[in-house]
Structure 1
Amino acid sequence: MSTPIIEIKKPVLRVENLFVSYDTNKFAVSDVSADIKKNHITAIMGPSGCGKSTLLRTLNRMHELYPQITTKGNIFLNDQDIYKISAIELRRKIGMVFQSPNPFPSMSIYENVVAGYSLNGIRLKKSDRDDIVEKSLTDVALWTEVKDSLHKRGNFLSGGQQQRLCIARTVALKPDVILLDEPTSALDPVATSKIEELLVVLKKDYSIVMVTHNMAQAARLSDYSMFMYLGELVEYGKTKDMFTNPSDKRTEEYLMGKFG
């Protein structure tokens, strides 16, 4: 009787011995190694200044926009070294959504969705643009709310709608990974709930890495969690295990609200 073959999915992102420094005397991220799993939500938690947003920005090299930053270590996207991919191409494959909703103010809703194509000089037929806009807005549950206002600027939208528009702009490029930096911290509870519901749906097609200060949100949404402290990755594992039985005392104290 033959032994069944068990397929082990390769990680979508592999981080190896990563160091990131803003000056010569202090590491914002210190010797972090982690495998990020495909089609899961991974939360990065930790107190302010612990390096979580720096780690997130490093995954698609957004940190390079800051002056005098140095990086050591390796990051692989689907086994490809991200430093051997142009930054522009990498950011199409690893999209990012920021803390405050930031639709391009001079662009219409329609133009915002396809901005990644137009800003990168990728020409599309109008029928293809139309299809991308409808699908992307449908994917973020925004199509029915804005389909009659596509050529208006997005500043009339609510904060939650604007954030969903930013997510639509990201998914329009069909990335492998979506990075989110505190995506609901500027939103009210109703808008936050809609974004959370959306992310659970999106993980079927995308791998999601999310920085959050909100431990309850991490517990609700994420499949895996990282806990960072002073630039170090203290603990990384299944969210359920971390919240019920943390392996490090610092993780336990953070989750109990003793610091943060």
Structure 2
Amino acid sequence: MKKIKTTDITSSSAMPIKKGSLDHLQAAYIETIQDVNKSYWAGDRAGTQPMALHGCINTGSGSTYIISAGAVMLDTYAEVFRCDAQTVTVAFGQVLVGTITTTYLTATDADPVEFSDSTLNNVHEIRKIVWSSAASGSGTFDYNDLYFRNNFDQISPTLAGDLNTWTLGTGSVDLRILVESKKVTIMFDINNTSTGGSNNTLSMTIPTGLATNFKQTTFNLAYFNTTGATEWVLVEAVGATKNVRFTRIGSTFGTYTNTLDLKGQLIAEIA
């Protein structure tokens, strides 16, 4: 941890304050905040993804966003930024974006500050995230990219069979994941999907939402149904991959046309 050594300062030996000293102190608390947050978020997401520490909840609907006050950790900047409560109406073709916006503390005992060369400068920065309607990617980050701790994220996986195709058909896949440090909880509700032929195993790959692979293979049982015939299947989080694999116990998967359902939950560890 960065500190200023004060043992050499005495009543007869004063220490002048330099720019480097102020930068050193600011870096000290920024690094501390970053390291503490990483201890909670480790393994959750790639370092560039903005993470809501608290608040920033949207209670609006449609194009109207009603965002509560909160704070966001941006690892790219190694800082935490507060966000005031805001209501924003997003225009057609645009999204809600958060942008780092700097204002200054203007007061007789704050800004502007007169420097030794008689120039006046604003130095007391207040840096916050301000929400607005704009083109995707035009701000510091899109609101839709904001990750909320302890919230399940809905993910669109890639489906595959080991021998033949596994597709949505006329069905749907509701895959949700919750990452808490090194633990990931996976819930899936797969309905009315199709296969192009028999398969020994079916798998779904989680393309986003996991910064790292599963550390080791973890097992559970899942509900399997086709046209009213129900049974249990083995479900695995496959170690060293981002794949969730299904195996029918004592049999193989057949050919299904909009009739294959798989439902269940799995807890695994990520590397």
Which TM-score tier does this pair reach, normalised by the shorter chain? under 0.3
Normalized per residue, which structure has more strand? 2
More helix by share: 1
Greater Rg over alpha carbons, structure: 2
